[in-house]
Amino acid sequence: MTKHAKILKLEEAQCKTDVPPFRVGDTIKVHTRIIEGNKERTQMFQGTVIARNGTGTGETFSLHRVAHGEGMERVFLLNSPRLSKIELIREGKVRRSKLYYLRGTKGKAAKVKSRITSRAKKSS
């Protein structure tokens, strides 16, 4: 077994398995554990996935949301121990791998169309 194969095997063992399959354009809610001194709390961030980058333990995704008229973006490590939970809220239908064009949009222009899944797929 080569060094590269050993490294890939170690990375695979460290990756999270409870992450729901989500794509660019989906709306997700991320629960992040924040430790302040000796206190611990959970902070939620809900937004549209505008990019996914990397592979393995270094995989990241960017979320974009507009709150009070201001656009915000936040980058999360997918396999971070600080992420307690990822919830899939809505599936979006897009034809781009990066949605950076959403950065300058407001109102209805910032919306992503919904992807409609058939009932047969959901039940099986």
**The domain that contains 42 carries what CATH number?**
2.30.30.790
Helices (DSSP H) in 1-124: which residue ranges?
A: 3-14, 119-123
Indicate whether 33 belongs to any domain. yes
Ramachandran class of 18: left when φ > 0, alpha when ψ lies in -120 to 50, beta otherwise: alpha
Q: What is the pLDDT of residues 2-35, one digit of tens each?
A: 999 998 888 888 888 888 899 999 999 999 999 9
SS3 73: strand
Asked if residue 6 is part of any domain, the answer here is no
pTM, two decimals, is 0.82
Look at residue 62 and tell me if it is in a domain: yes
For 92-113, the pLDDT digits (tens) are: 999 999 999 988 887 778 888 8
Query: SS in 3 state form for 100-121?
Result: HHHHHCCHHHHCCCECCCCHHH
Domain, as residue range, for 66: 12-94
